[in-house]
Amino acid sequence: MSSAQRPAPPRPTSRDVARAAGVSQATVSLVLGDKWHGRVSAATADRVRDSARELGYRPNLAARSLRLGRTRTALLVVPALTNEFFARVHTGAAAVAAEHDFGVVLYPSPDGTGPARDPFASASASLDGVIASSMAAGALGALRTAGLPLVMLDSDPDDRGAAARVNLDIADGMRQVTDHLLGLGHRRIVHLASAVDTWTFVVRARALDEAVREVPGTTLRTVTAPLDVRAGREATEAVLTSPGPLPTAIVCDDDILAAGACKAVRRQGLRVPGDISVTGFDDLALATAVEPELTTVRLPAERVGRRGMSALLAVLDGLPADDGDLPVRLMVRGSTAPPPSA
């Protein structure tokens, strides 16, 4: 018989791994299912993993999924696919999912932050759980009725319908922006706010207002705009052509609005930051593509996705998920400077 006709060697089984490691099949199942903590010693877990690796053992995921009643698939719901932040959240979630032989289905809500429809005939039959990023609490009714574990990212902590939650310290990010501008001497500030009514933007507005009110003689004017460059430019132009003194700083709810604000300043014959400073939020690739580069708040989007997927896996295993807000960091660049002297 030629080598091409020889049957493939038998696939190693969990029994083979157990025999090689000198443990029971139950121990192999615990270790390779990542449920060994508190039940098996670290040395034994290492021995089981080493044996599995040497034998080339891979678990039969189809059989395991049927036995557990799981599809090993999670749904990630986002407001849009065009925003880099959500792409990075997906990257982080998918990385953790892959480590645990899970898949992630990315689903943009058809109406942005509006109601997200069940993307399947029955989500409960197709999925193990749902992760929702930056969605309003009322937007997930159809998915919640499916009875699946729900992990909310960047969302209202007072909404108790989620099994776990991963948030960024958005308020601290806006306080860092405000402290930076006030420290430079700015006292006439415009807030170019997102017209999207979600928790993350409400928190930004509240934190900015509270910080400004602590400094006597500081004025704050708020204007809203949809999240695109043109809308940000038009809203800023309306401010700059209205009666009264010009602002010395424009605080934008995200980098896209900030790009529009910078265009508006230049179109009025003014300079960023010589006449007006501009700040963004999110630290998208856009922030360093514009000139001058944007002072903005860096959000660890991939880490949000990683922790969100880890939280869902913990919930599915009946374990507590990590809590506590993820820190954010102000990135000071060329779009901010002291205000022009009187």
Q: List the CATH number of the domain containing 236.
A: 3.40.50.2300
Residue type, 265: V
What's the rounded mean pLDDT across residues 261-272? 97
pLDDT of residue 66: 38
Cα–Cα distance, 112 to 110 (Å, whole number): 6
Same domain membership, residue 285 and residue 174: yes
- In CATH, what number is assigned to the domain containing residue 41? 1.10.260.40
Domain boundary among 59, 88, 112: 59
pLDDT at 189 over 60: yes
Confirm whether 341 is domain-assigned: no
Helices and strands: H and E segment counts in the chain: 13, 11
Same domain membership, residue 259 and residue 157: no
pLDDT in tens, 200-246: 999 999 999 999 999 999 999 999 999 999 999 999 999 999 999 99
Beta-carbon neighbour count of residue 150 at 10 Å?
Answer: 22
Phi-psi map region of 147: left, alpha, beta (phi>0 left; psi -120 to 50 alpha):
left
Same domain membership, residue 145 and residue 181: no
Among 81-85, 144-148, 152-156, 157-161, the least confident range: 144-148
Same domain membership, residue 305 and residue 270: no
> How many CA atoms lie within 13 Å of 108's alpha carbon, on the beta-carbon side?
10
Q: Which of 103, 72, 109 is nearest to 90 (CA)?
A: 103
User: What is the SS3 assignment for 66-113?
Assistant: HHHCCCCEEEEEECCCCCHHHHHHHHHHHHHHHHCCCEEEEEECCCCC
Beta carbons of 246 and 240 less than 8 angstroms apart: yes
Beta carbons of 135 and 77 less than 8 angstroms apart: yes
pLDDT of residue 58: 67
pLDDT at 64 over 60: no
pLDDT of residue 342: 45
CA distances from 226 to 12, 48, 52, 103, 304 (A): 57, 54, 53, 33, 24
Give the range of the structural domain holding residue 45, as residue numbers without chain letter: 14-59
Cα–Cα distance, 58 to 13 (Å, whole number): 8
What average pLDDT does the chain have?
Answer: 85
Among 22-26, 60-64, 196-200, 243-247, the least confident range: 60-64
Same domain membership, residue 278 and residue 158: no
Task: Report the number of distinct structural domains present in the chain.
Answer: 3
> pLDDT-derived band of residue 36, with 50, 70 and 90 as boundaries?
confident
Confirm whether 227 is domain-assigned: yes
pLDDT of residue 62: 43
Helix, strand or coil, per DSSP, at residue 130:
strand
pLDDT of residue 243: 93
Beta-carbon neighbour count of residue 151 at 10 Å?
Answer: 28
pLDDT of residue 121: 46
> pLDDT-derived band of residue 122, with 50, 70 and 90 as boundaries?
very low
Same domain membership, residue 192 and residue 290: yes
